[in-house]
Amino acid sequence: MNASVIAIANQKGGVGKTTTAANLGIGLAQEGKKVLLVDCDPQASLTISLGYAQPDQLPTTLSTYMVKALNDEAMPPGEGILHHPEGIDLLPASIDLASMELRLISAMSRETVLRKVLKPLKKQYDHILLDCMPSLALLTINSLTAADRVLIPVQPHYLSARGLEELAKSIDQVRRDINPKLKIDGILLTMMDNRTVYAREIASLMRESYGRKLKVFDTEIPHSVRAAEISAEGKSIFTHDPKGKVATAYRALTQEVMQIEKQRATRQAGLSR
C-alpha cells in the first residue's frame, strides 16, 4: 500500500475546501479505502468540523509531527492520529501551525517538511487528503510538494475564477522546481445555485476558459443549508442528510476521483510495459 496524496487547495477562503476534504474522504472510506485526512490549516476547520471542538488542547497535532521532522526525530507510529466513527483517520491541526509557518522560513529544505512527515504514513493508507490553508504561503507549498494530485474547489464567482490563474502558476512552479509528478485532478464547482443565471453563467465561463487545459469535474456541489450545518455536528453529509442533493453530489465526486486514479494507473501500467 502506498497512498495517493491529494491536496485540496485554493488560496481563496470560503470555497468549500474543508467540506470537500471531509466528505470526499468519508466517501472514499465508504468505498472500502483506508483514508487519512490531514488538517494543514492553523484555523483547524477540518479538525473542528470532524468533532474536535478544542483543537488547541490536543496533545499531538500536525505541528508536532513537523517539529519532529525538522529535528530529524521519528514520531511513534500512529501517535496523535484520531479515529473518526465514519471510518477515516485524522491528523489534526491547531494554532501551533501558525508559528510553524514562521519556523519554515529559516529551515533547510523548507518546502519538503510535510513530505517527510507523510512518508512513513503513506504505507498505511490508500488515500491521504490534505486540507490546505487559504493562502499560497509555505504551508500550502509544503502540501503541494507532498501531493501527487491537486483538487481545486471553486465557487462560481468572478473573483474566484480570477484567483485560479494565480493558483495554477504556483502549482506549475512547484511542479517545475520541486515536485515534477504533481498533477491537477480538476476544478470542482462548489456552492452551486443553479436557480441563478449568474451562477450558471460563471460556471459555463469556467468550463469554457479552463476546460481546454484542465478538467472541470462533471459533478457540481450544490449550495445547501444542510451542508453548512454539518460543521457544528462533527458528522459528514452522508450521516447528516444521506438522501439529500449534497450527499448525492459527494458520492458522484468520489466516483469521479476514483475513476481518474484508475485511468492514471492504467496509463502508467501501459507506459511501464
pLDDT at 109 over 80: yes
Asked if 214 and 187 count as a contact pair (C-beta separation under 8 A), the reply is yes
Please determine, for residue 161, whether its predicted confidence score (pLDDT) is greater than 70: no
Number of domains in the chain: 1
Geometric angle at alpha carbon 187, from 239 and 115, rounded to 5°: 80
**Which three three-digit cell numbers place residue 139?**
504551508
Full-model pTM: 0.94
pLDDT in tens, 144-159: 999 999 999 998 876 6
CA atoms 228, 92, 77, 108: torsion sign: positive
Q: Supply the pLDDT for residue 214.
A: 84
Whether 257 and 151 have beta carbons less than 8 Å apart is answered as: yes
**Domain of 97: which CATH number?**
3.40.50.300
The pLDDT of residue 181: 94
* Local confidence band at 231 (pLDDT 50, 70, 90 cut-offs): low
Q: How confident is the model at residue 213 (pLDDT cuts 50, 70, 90)?
A: confident
CA angle 106, 112, 113 (to 5 degrees): 70
- pLDDT at position 196, please? 81
Q: How far is CA 230 from CA 22, 36, 101, 165, 256, in A?
A: 10, 20, 29, 31, 23
Q: Positive or negative CA dihedral for 6, 113, 84, 53?
A: negative
Q: Which amino acid, 224?
A: S
Residue 22, C-beta contacts closer than 8 angstroms, at least 6 positions apart: 37, 46, 49, 50, 131, 230, 236
Question: Average pLDDT, stretch 263-272?
Answer: 79
Mean pLDDT is lowest, of 122-126, 142-146, 240-244, 250-254, for 240-244
Report the percent of the chain where pLDDT is more than 90. 66
Q: What is the pLDDT of residue 129?
A: 98
Confidence band for 83, pLDDT divided at 50, 70 and 90: very high
Beta bridge partners of 36: 89, 128
For residue 243, what are the domain limits? 4-271
Judged against a pLDDT cut of 70, whether residue 71 lies above it is answered with yes
- Other CB atoms within a 10 A radius of the CB of residue 31 amount to 14
